[in-house]
Amino acid sequence: MTYIMTGIEGYELTEQDLDNLKHPLTRGVIFFKRNFKDYHQLVRLIRHIRALKGTDFLLAVDQEGGRVIRFGLPFTQLPPLARLGEVYQRDQALGLTMTHLHAWLMASELLSIGIDLSFAPVLDIDNGSDVIGDRALGQTADQVSVLAEQYCQGMRSAGMCTTAKHYPGHGTVKADSHHELPKDDRSMSALEQLDLMPFVQNIRAGVIDAMMLSHVIYTQVCEQPTGYSLHWCQDILTNQHRFHGTTISDDLGMAAAECVGDIHQRYQACVDAKVDLTLLCEPQLCTELYSNNRLKNVPTEAGKLIKIMSLKGQSTLSHELPFWEQYRWQQARKAWVTLMIETS
């Protein structure tokens, strides 16, 4: 069985949201800009979800920096990861320091309000993709590998698990999988020499807790997108690359995900690929999936639930005070602002 992380409609839970949250397959919520009005509204929403679902439930967001920021002020409006790569090229030590601070600030702020995960870091290479670009840490596999490991260490030092994306690499495929189905005709050998390198090296470094799978078809390897492919998920990722963390399929509402059929067929493709968790970012799609009577009384899979819940965050900041009132955050933020000025 593959579990679901669903999106919710707005600033408060709707009746549809409540129904989706009650379903036994729902094991998390992913937040978007549509869910953020201000800090206090977001905290109330999180507390409401926690009151309904308890602590054994994941809350997540994409708070990468740059153009992928879901929460506005007072959360630090961090630059895109490409800025870290640019600093690293001029001064490696300074680039590593800024990378760690970027990750720590992002993760600590989210954890302090009860959000477990930011789906980060991006391990794709900036190599021509319409959707990656400045979301990447660099244009070479070596630089992305080094900075990604540092970023993961920064997240972990704040108490947040890491999610590498978009395996096995979306950065060389021009098409945006949100809007169309990308296909990559390169050989497995070519992928291993470039896009796969940051993933493989960081798996070996032991810093990746979860792996988000792309909706890209690598035609010389498998006829299915990675997130629907047992060959990619089991033969390559698990058996060849020795990754034993949580596997997460990208949003089933994306245009590229539609290649196998309707939402029921997309979900079944994830099940067939033995994916642990999949995203359903639009509540209506989640409701549509749950209309399938076969899914109403599904048995739980203890092994998968343990893997998924191992991604729970452990904040190193207090939950009792807003993060901006806490000394440790104040010192990190001061250091970050100073470095931003020095490198501008």
191-207 average pLDDT score:
97
The pTM of this model reads: 0.96
- Structure confidence at residue 70 (pLDDT): 98
pLDDT for 103-115, tens place per residue?
Answer: 999 999 999 999 9
pLDDT band with cut points at 50, 70 and 90 for residue 18: very high
- Structure confidence at residue 300 (pLDDT): 81
The answer to whether the beta carbons of residues 224 and 217 sit under 8 Å apart is yes
Report residue 132 CA to chain centroid gap. 14
Place of tokens 């920096």: 65
Cβ neighbours of 238 (radius 10 Å): 16
Q: Is the pLDDT of residue 174 over 90?
A: no
Nearest by Cα to 182 from 121, 124, 127, 259: 259
pLDDT for 108-157, tens place per residue?
Answer: 999 999 999 999 999 999 998 989 999 999 999 999 999 999 999 999 99
Q: Which residues are catalytic?
A: 178, 250
Cα dihedral 108, 110, 116, 120, rounded to 10, equals -80
Report residue 59 CA to chain centroid gap. 11
pLDDT for 229-271, tens place per residue?
Answer: 999 999 999 999 999 999 999 999 998 888 999 999 999 999 9
Residue 263 belongs to what H/E stretch? helix 263-272
d(CA 137, CA 132): 10
Structure tokens that stand for 158 in this block = 């704040």
The answer to whether the beta carbons of residues 215 and 179 sit under 8 Å apart is no
Q: Is the pLDDT of residue 86 over 90?
A: yes
Map out the domains of the chain with their CATH numbers: 3-342 (3.20.20.300)
213-239 average pLDDT score:
95
Structure tokens that stand for 154 in this block = 């920064």
Structure tokens that stand for 178 in this block = 């949100």
